[in-house]
């Protein structure tokens, strides 16, 4: 980590109020909380994937999503690679479809090509959720279609409910299994007003994250039919994912699972109220204009270096951390940041928050 990143990390840790995300406990606080929860619930370690804590949590997630079986894995990268590998094996087609901004394309060093020798076919527009028309336009044979809900790189956008059902119908018509990249499925339920099981119905396999949204130390759950999950467990062992103990990851997820899910409606409402206030500030735009999850992209009419310098100045002088990383936008001179709304903004009104964004803009222009 270079000096400027380390300095900014230290600057953030000194802030009394942090706008983005959920409260993040220190390692000592987290470990004490896990220890207390394990003691209160008489938790024992799992051993190479066998144990009551692990199997009980897998069953709980499977029941919530309406799937017959589930397996806990140390990472979402592993879970999704295993899913596409199984569908490729079963179909005999070394090719699968995915959104142009999929995590598999942008953040995994081409693992599906390097490790599994599979070909990924981009489907749809990178700034919009995947639709039935996008699948119709892609005429290649596909082992499966990986659908991300929501599209993070488009500010957390989701297809409408009827659009999602139409995509399911089109995939069924083409005989293509759907796999859900549900890293942020937990954040999507509030928008649809449906149960998690209703949303994932029609998907042959589903991945959900246990640290994004839920706040666990790490980990993911892969879900599907019993035969599919049995094969996934085999691949998990092949890829070195059957750890001696997964109990720390599972406990950190299980102990806050229900509470985090219960907060998602309030987080969406807070996101929409904040977005409305932000768009009244000259020099800011929000995508989407009305957030569909508790996530949005905030665009600034200023260079990213100036915005980050302004953020650092506010942090140093006023002990408020307004935004995270700011990146260049496609429009020259503009920049943007991703704002994830968690419990840290639930207790703050627009009257308390918007002046800091106004200050951020003023300092950016003056820089």
Tell me the per-residue pLDDT of 294-331, one tens digit each, with 9 for 90 and over: 999 999 999 999 999 999 999 999 999 999 999 999 99
Percent of the chain with pLDDT over 70: 99
Q: Give the pLDDT score at 357.
A: 98
Q: Give the pLDDT score at 25.
A: 95
Reduce the secondary structure of the chain to three states and give it as a string: CCHHHHHHHHHHHCCCEECCECCCCCHHHHHHHHHHHHHHCCCCCCECCECHHHHHHHHHHHHHHCCCEEEEECCHHHHHHHHHHHHHHHHCCCEEEECCCCHHHHCCCCHHHHCCCCEEEECCCCCCCCCHHHHHHCCCCCCCEEEECCEHHHCCECCCHHHHHHHHHHHHHHCCCEEEEECCHHHHHHHHCCCHHHHHCCCCEEEEECCCCCCCCCCEEEEECHHHHHHHHHHHHHCCCCCCCCHHHHHHHHCCHHHHHHHHHHHHHHHHHHHHHHCCCCCEEEECCCCCECEEEEEECCCHHHHHHHHHHHHHHHCEECCCCEEECCCCCCEEEEEEECHHHHCCCHHHHHHHHHHHHHHHHHC
Mean per-residue pLDDT over the chain, rounded? 97
Q: What is the pLDDT of residues 175-213, one digit of tens each?
A: 999 999 999 999 999 999 999 999 999 999 999 999 999
Q: Where are the domains of the chain?
A: 3-26+259-366, 43-255
Rounded average pLDDT over 131-154: 97
Percent of the chain with pLDDT over 90: 98
Q: Is the pLDDT of residue 102 over 70?
A: yes
Q: What is the pLDDT of residues 207-236, one digit of tens each?
A: 999 999 999 999 999 999 999 999 999 999
CATH class of residue range 3-26+259-366: alpha beta
Q: Give the pLDDT score at 3.
A: 84
CATH number assigned to the domain with residue range 43-255, chosen from the 4 options 3.20.20.70, 3.30.1240.10, 3.40.640.10, 3.40.50.720: 3.40.640.10
Q: Give the pLDDT score at 1.
A: 55
């Amino acid at each position: 980590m270079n000096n400027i990143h380390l300095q900014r990390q230290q600057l953030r840790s000194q802030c009394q109020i942090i706008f983005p995300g959920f409260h993040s406990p220190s390692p000592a606080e987290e470990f004490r909380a896990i220890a207390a929860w394990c003691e209160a619930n008489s938790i024992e370690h799992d051993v190479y994937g066998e144990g009551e804590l692990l199997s009980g949590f897998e069953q709980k997630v499977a029941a919530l999503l309406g799937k017959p079986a589930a397996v806990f894995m140390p990472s979402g990268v592993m879970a999704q690679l295993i899913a596409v590998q199984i569908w490729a094996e079963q179909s005999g087609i070394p090719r699968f479809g995915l959104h142009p901004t999929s995590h598999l394309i942008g953040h995994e060093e081409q693992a599906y090509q390097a490790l599994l020798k599979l070909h990924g076919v981009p489907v749809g527009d990178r700034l919009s959720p995947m639709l039935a028309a996008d699948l119709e336009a892609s005429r290649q044979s596909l082992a499966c279609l990986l659908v991300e809900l929501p599209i993070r790189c488009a500010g957390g956008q989701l297809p409408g409910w009827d659009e999602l059902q139409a995509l399911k119908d089109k995939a069924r018509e083409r005989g293509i299994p759907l796999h859900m990249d549900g890293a942020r499925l937990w954040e999507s339920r509030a928008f649809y007003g449906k149960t998690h099981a209703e949303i994932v119905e029609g998907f042959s396999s589903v991945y959900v994250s246990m640290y994004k949204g839920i706040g666990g130390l790490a980990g993911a759950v892969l879900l599907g039919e019993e035969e599919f999950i049995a094969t996934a467990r085999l691949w998990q062992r092949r890829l070195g994912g059957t750890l001696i103990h997964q109990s720390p990851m599972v406990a950190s997820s299980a102990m806050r699972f229900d509470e985090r899910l219960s907060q998602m409606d309030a987080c969406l409402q807070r996101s929409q109220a904040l977005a409305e206030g932000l768009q009244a500030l000259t020099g800011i735009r929000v995508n989407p204009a009305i957030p569909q999850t508790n996530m949005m992209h905030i665009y600034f009419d200023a260079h990213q270096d100036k915005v980050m310098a302004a953020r650092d100045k506010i942090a140093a002088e006023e002990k408020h951390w307004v935004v995270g990383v700011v990146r260049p936008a496609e429009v020259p001179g503009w920049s943007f940041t991703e704002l994830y709304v968690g419990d840290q903004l639930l207790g703050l009104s627009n009257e308390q928050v918007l002046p800091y964004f106004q200050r951020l803009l003023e300092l950016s222009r003056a820089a």
